[in-house]
Amino acid sequence: MKFTTSWLKEHLDTDASLTEIVDKLTMIGLEVENVEDKASLLKPFVIASVVSAEKHPNADRLRVCMVDTGDGKPVQVVCGAPNARAGMKGVFSAPGTFIPGKNITVTVGTIRGVESRGMLCSAAELLISDDHDGIIELPADAPVGKSYADYAGTAEPVIEINLTPNRSDCTGVNGIARDLGAANIGAFKDRTVKPVKGTFPCPVKVTLDFGKTPPLCPAFGLRLVKGVKNGPSPEWLQKRLTAIGLRPINALVDITNFITFDRGRPLHVFDAAKVHGHLTVRRAKKGETLLALDGKTYALDESICVIADEKSVESLAGIMGGEASGCSETTTDVLIESALWEPLNIAQTGRKLGIQSDARYRFERGVDPAFMLPGLDLATQMVMELCGGQASETVVAGEVKMRDRVVDFPLSELERLTGLKVPLPDVRRLLEKLGFFAAGQGERVKVAVPSWRGDVEGKADIVEEIVRIMGLDRVKPTPFDRGADAFKPVLTPIQVRTRKAKRALAARGMVEAVTWSFISKREAEMFGGGAAELALANPIAAELSDMRPSLIAGLVAAAQRNADRSLPDVALFEVGQIFKGDKPEDQLIAATGVRRALAKSTGIGRHWSNGGAGVDVFDAKADALAVLTAAGAPAQSMQVVPGGPAWFHPGRSGTIQICPQNVLGHFGELHPRTLEALDAEGPLVAFEVILDKIPEAKAKVTRAKPVLELSAFQPVERDFAFVVASDVKAGDIVRAAQSADRKLVSNVTVFDVYEGKNIEAGKKSIAIAVTIQPREKTMTDQEIEALGAKIIAEVTKKTGGALRA
Amino acid sequence: MSNIAQLEKELLGAIAAAKDEAALEAVRVSALGKSGSVSALLKTLGAMTPDERKTQGAAINGLKDRVTAELAARKDALKGSALDTRLATETIDVTLPVREAPAEAGRIHPITQVIDELTAIFANMGFAVAEGPDIETDDYNFTKLNFPEGHPAREMHDTFYFPPKPDGSRMLLRTHTSPVQVRTMLGQKPPIRVIIPGRTYRSDSDQTHTPMFHQVEGLVIDKGSHLGHLKWILEEFCKAFFEVERVNMRFRPSFFPFTEPSMEVDIQCKRDKGEVRFGEGNDWLEILGCGMVHPNVLKNCGLDPDEYQGFAWGMGIDRIAMLKYGMPDLRPFFEADVRWLSHYGFRPLDFPTLAGGLSA
């Protein structure tokens, strides 16, 4: 919403400065987005007349003009505008002038061999409008040599308000003035419209015809003014419109645009001569079209409300008129329409047809129903003043129904919601300035809401009116009591896990990424997703179309992007949501990481200490176990079994589980086919664990740790090497050794794995170190020997191996 | 010179001349061994008269003690020089670089860090952290929050939708974290004090907008909390979060369907070469929206607006991260460029606490 201060002052008696007005507007909720001060920008532009315009000797489309800029010495200007001609008046910029619409400075130049000492400007070049179809043409009486800005009224600063969608009353300058008046920035001039009496019946009848469908037009007013003389509107009106970026068309059209901005009341004018018979307001029929005033043809359907005559659709109700019945200089009889429309339908139609118009802007927010007929009277009055003619009586189809809104308002509500105490007389005065009426004297008053404030429904709205006009700075910051349970932990178990998981992975040298929650359909399918219910109906791009079932795809892509920037060795992780379905419980938190090339858990990149070994499955396994343990998974209960989902290398991946029914996650090398499909190069290892799957720890009564048991007896360590078949799992050997005596065997580690020379083909040697912790007494050599024999027997039995000779 | 003195001179000379421990051992054996020269002298004591033995004994034993002591001293010296010689061959190049500690290389994303900072501040004021699903119903994302069907305010949200279900309803990606307010009010009895951080989505993408971003909201519902409390909380929050002594805040009336009265909040700042300083300067920077929870929202969530009241606020996590830590652009937050992450990210052990200073 744009307006100038002089326009504002038509509705507000005030001496306030621009700064005061602008500051106050923002502080009462009419946020000033921009104050455009064209005066300084347009200062160097002067009105000039074109003395002669000859064809350029070397270019068909150019003209060589002699331009009088007011000092009597015509200047030669080469001009490409199709409308440049002798005798016209336009806007001239001398060399050295900055052209805001083009971001250039005019220089003396030679165009196709002819010198040009300035420029004749288009409206677009001056940022006055989007019109760049030719240079500005000024009326014949425009004063040559004078400042164009002063002449056009663009010297005034233009205030632009970022209007919130609830304030339809401020789509008109008078509404803004009323708010400022209430906020003591001046006195609001209530310019009530006087009815204009018609002298004959309106010859055109209007029917609202929605059949059995929901009606889209509550009321429609129409009257004819006959015998008008249409032409350019007077200077003052043109200036009003050009100042806010509207292009004057002709008096009849300019009047409707003026009232749209002056009162927030959009109107439409039809050339009565071009309207065939009577008008019907109805839903469009599929297949109907309309060439609208913006020059575009729109295909219509039953969801769209139109005004039609007996031949065809003439106007898109509440949005834009039709070209065919539009008013021109030849119009002598004009039909003026002022109507009410269903805001929802206007919004939907506007969206569907892609039309942003000043009428739509107002009708979709809801106009003041009580001003439908006064708006029509105001337009009639202006038409008769500016164009002459005789007005008919008004015909009204439908009915202007006004909701009587009275809010039962206890004064205490203000204090309850804001902490502010304001005496009733002050509240009453303020509300009345806004057009409300407060009846009653006690603690509860009845507040009648004015017709233009469709947004005010209840007590809270009244409170808002009072605080916004009084000033929110009157509300004092009040310390907030943090409540009784101030020391209770506030994070849920999954929140705690998420935090710990992130820090644990970062502490392992990995870098946290945040990648999109959506990936491409192909990627989603590759990782077990791609369900129809998780595919966006309106994705922003094809590669961001489906909710991710895994974080691996996003991280692999991220790793590859880094590799493409010559950063091949990256370790990235993300802890975030994955989606198995569209229900809340289908959203899980995954902790996922990828390591690429030399980004090992022991250190990233080539280093003299390790000969440049690349990432392997054990880096991913270590990450997975570390993050699970940090997030509270029970270390003793986790099993690692070979293999994982299809996107991992079948022989170089593993699954971490509490039991086959409760899988916590997977790790491994990515399958070469997965990498290829993701357009990524390895070596690349990954893990993904689901934090929600970690069993919750049993609640403990106290925080005390279990009693520390320190044995009085020396532990004994014994080494054993077994030769087993190549496919025997080290984990099975360890478990077999542990099972020899669960009490005495306190630890088993694998310290060597060997295949090759001295070992039969198809076999391998695995060496374990077993720690034996005597519990009750020091063990004798014989006892230790016996336990050793038992360990050998268990391992041999479970794995089919033999003690290495 | 007596025999003893002569022998002592010879032996001490031999000890001093011993080049290594083997040579010294040979000297020891030649003197103190079974058939050594000093041992031989000691053996002569048995054949002596008591008087002779008295004088000779003292002399011979004195010799033995001195030779023994000298042997020990020489042995220490030889051992020491042998060690020195060995160590001289054992140097390694300590200028070789070591691996950086993993905890030095790892990074926490600024969004995580800022959420942890928010949690620290608001937990201290008695707020819990509430979360909800990203995939929401139209009812929770809009209708219950008092967005009328088809209202222009809905259009401003650029919503991502999923395909319609057989019953015509369609799920959507939440456009704000506010549906979690609804879930919280429906799920627990007041008093309610929560903050709600999370991912939000709008189908918008340009230099300053990404289709996914992060918001944090706050919600207080009880029987007495009003605008004054809201102002205090937000002022305290801004001081704590931006780690400044004071902030000047400006509350402007505004409009959100789910609050009434509604406000936008600007904070005063000075901008200087991409850096924003708070508590000084002449610029106003909008950082959040807030208001008293709309009576319709309370009703929609099963609370009587005449009994319960409260307020809510919301802001962009990415945005306040940019303001505090000076990232110039939003898009790199989601590009996972390790150069950006290493520069703007945080060390894993830099856990924000109020006790230690959020970013200390």
For B97, other C-beta atoms within 10 Å of its C-beta total: 8
The dihedrals phi and psi of B209, each to the nearest 5 degrees, come to: -125, 140
**Low-confidence stretches of chain A (pLDDT beneath 70):** 129-131, 153-155, 486
Question: What is the predicted pLDDT for the residue at A86?
Answer: 87
Kindly list the residues from chain A whose CB atom is less than 8 angstroms away from the CB atom of residue B140.
Answer: none
CA-CA-CA-CA torsion sign (A371, A374, A380, A384): negative
Considering only alpha carbons, which residue of chain A is nearest residue B124? Answer: A486
Between chains, do B229 and A544 touch, taking CB under 8 Å as contact?
no
Please report the DSSP string for A32-76 in residue order.
Answer: EEEEE-HHHHHTT-EEEEEEEEEEETTEEEEEEEEEE-SSS--EE
A-chain CB neighbours of B99 within 8 Å are 602-603, 607, 609
Query: How far is CA A437 from each of CA A83, A452, A650, rounded to the nearest angstrom?
Result: 57, 13, 78
Among B260, B297, B317, B337, which would you mutate to test the A interface (most chain A Cβ atoms within 10 Å of its Cβ)? Answer: B260
- Asked if A609 is an interface residue toward chain B (Cβ–Cβ < 8 A), one would say yes
CB A460 within 8 A of CB B261: yes
Judging contacts by C-beta atoms under 8 Å, the chain B residues touching residue A499 are 116
Reported as a pLDDT band with limits 50, 70 and 90, residue B152 is: low
Which of chain A's residues have a Cβ under 8 Å away from the Cβ of B100?
509, 603-604
Confidence (pLDDT) at A87: 87
What span, in angstroms and rounded, lies between the C-alpha atoms of B264 and B221? 20
Pairing verdict, β A297-299 and A98-99: unpaired
Q: Tell the burial category of A726 from Cβ atoms under 10 Å away from its Cβ (0-12, 13-18, 19+).
A: exposed
Split at pLDDT 50, 70, 90, the class of B156 is low
Which of B116, B199, B253 faces A472 most closely, judged by CB atoms?
B253
pLDDT tens for residues A484-543? 776 778 899 999 999 999 999 999 999 999 999 999 999 999 999 999 999 999 999 999
Strands A333-340 and A219-226: antiparallel
Chain A residues within an 8 Å CB radius of B126: 482-483, 485-486
Closest Cβ opposite residue B116 in set A473, A499, A532: A499
Decide: A91 and A121 in contact? Cβ < 8 Å: yes
A15, two tokens: 């001496």
Token pair for residue B242?
A: 């931006």
**Residue B121: band (very low, low, confident or very high) from pLDDT cuts 50, 70, 90:** very high
Is the CB of B161 less than 8 angstroms away from the CB of A538? yes
Phi-psi category of residue A389: left, alpha or beta, with phi > 0 → left and psi -120 to 50 → alpha = left
The structure tokens listed for A181 are 């008046």
Crossing angle of helices A372-387 and A251-263, rounded to 10° = 140
A416 and B337 in contact by Cβ < 8 A? no
Backbone angles phi, psi at B315, to 5 degrees: -155, 165
Is the reported ipTM for this assembly greater than 0.85?
yes
User: Sign of torsion, CA B276 B278 B284 B286?
Assistant: positive
Mean pLDDT of B99-124: 95
10 Å Cβ neighbour count for A804? 16
Of A420, A502, A518, the CB nearest to B112: A502
A554: which chain B residues are within 8 Å (Cβ-Cβ)? 336
A514 close to B (CB below 8 A): yes
Question: Which of B140, B186, B231 has the most A C-beta neighbours within 10 Å, making it the best mutation to test the interface with A?
Answer: B231
Of the candidates A534, A537, A603, the beta carbon closest to that of B100 is on A603
Contact A20, B246 (CB under 8 A): no
Of B99, B109, B128, the CB nearest to A609: B99
Interface with A, mutate which of B99, B136, B236, B283 (most A CBs under 10 A): B99
Beta strands in A85-143 (DSSP E): 89-93, 98-99, 104-105, 109-111, 114-116, 119-120
Residue of B nearest to A600 (CA): B102
DSSP characters over A384-424? HHHH--EE-PPEEEE-------EEEEETHHHHHHHS----H
Interface subset of A 318-347, CB within 8 angstroms of B: 344, 347
In the three-class reduction of DSSP (H, G, I as helix; E, B as strand; rest coil), residue A663 is classed as strand
Any idea which residue has 């907030």 for tokens?
Answer: A480
d(CA A551, CA A575): 8
d(CA A739, CA A748): 11
**Chain A residues 465-484 within an 8 A CB cutoff of chain B:** 467-468, 472-473, 475-480, 482-483
The 10s digit of each residue's pLDDT in A416-470 is 999 999 999 999 999 999 999 999 888 899 999 999 999 999 999 999 999 999 9
Tell me which DSSP letter residue A8 carries.
H
Considering CB atoms only, which of A419, A486, A570 is closest to B228? A419
What is the rounded average pLDDT of the residues B233-237? 96
What is the per-residue pLDDT across B286-342, written as a single tens digit (0 to 9) for each? 999 999 999 999 999 999 999 999 999 999 999 999 999 989 899 999 999 999 999
Question: Can you give the pLDDT at residue B153?
Answer: 64
In chain B, which residues have their Cβ closer than 8 Å to the Cβ of A478?
A: 226, 228-229, 231-232
| DSSP-assigned letters across all residues of A506-567 | HHTT-EE----SEE-HHHHHHTT---GGGB-SS-SSGGG-EE-S-SHHHHHHHHHHHHHTT-
DSSP strand pairing (A219-226 vs A268-271): unpaired
Measured CA to CA in angstroms, residue B246 lies from B239, B243, B268, B289 at distances of 6, 9, 10, 20
Query: Based on C-alpha coordinates, what's the Rg of chain A?
Result: 41
Q: Which of A303, A323, A327 is nearest to A312 (CA)?
A: A323
Measured CA to CA, the distance from residue B235 to residue B228 in angstroms comes to 11
Q: Are A684 and A556 in contact (CB under 8 A)?
A: yes
Helical ranges in chain B per DSSP H: 3-17, 21-32, 37-44, 50-88, 102-105, 110-124, 138-141, 152-155, 179-187, 227-242, 295-300, 317-325, 338-344
Q: For residue A168, is it left (φ>0), alpha (ψ between -120 and 50) or beta?
A: alpha
Residues of B in contact with A510 (CB under 8 A): 106
Query: Is the previous residue joined to A549 through a cis bond, with omega within 30 degrees of 0?
Result: no
C-alpha A386/C-alpha A382 separation (Å) is 6
Is A612 within 8 Å of A550 (Cβ atoms)?
no
> What is the per-residue pLDDT across B4-34, written as a single tens digit (0 to 9) for each?
888 889 999 999 999 988 999 999 999 899 9
Residue A738 structure tokens: 């542990």
pLDDT at A153: 64
Q: A167 at the B interface (CB within 8 A)?
A: yes
Contact B227 A475 (CB under 8 A): yes
Question: To which H or E segment does residue B192 belong?
Answer: strand B192-201
Q: B71 CA to chain A: closest CA distance, Å? A: 41
Half-sphere CA count of A301, side-chain side, radius 13 A: 6
Q: Are A680 and A735 in contact (CB under 8 A)?
A: no
B interface test, pick of A469, A533, A536, A564 with most B CB neighbours within 10 Å: A536
Least Cα separation, residue B89 to chain A (angstroms):
22
Within its chain, how far is the Cα of A391 from the centroid? 48
A509 → closest Cβ in B106, B164, B170: B106
Residue B309 CA from chain centroid, whole number: 39
CB contact set of A206 (below 8 Å; sequence gap of 6+): A220, A222, A278, A279, A280, A281, A395, A397
Closest approach of A402 to chain B, Cα-based (Å): 20
- Kind of pairing between the strands at A639-642 and A648-659: antiparallel
> Residues 6 or more apart from A673 whose CB is under 8 A from it?
none
- Does an H or E element contain A591, and which? strand A587-596
Q: What is the pLDDT of residue B73?
A: 94
From the list A415, A475, A516, the residue facing B334 with the nearest CB is: A516
Q: Is A15 on the interface with B (CB under 8 A)?
A: no
Rounded Cα gap, residues B263 and B292, in angstroms: 9
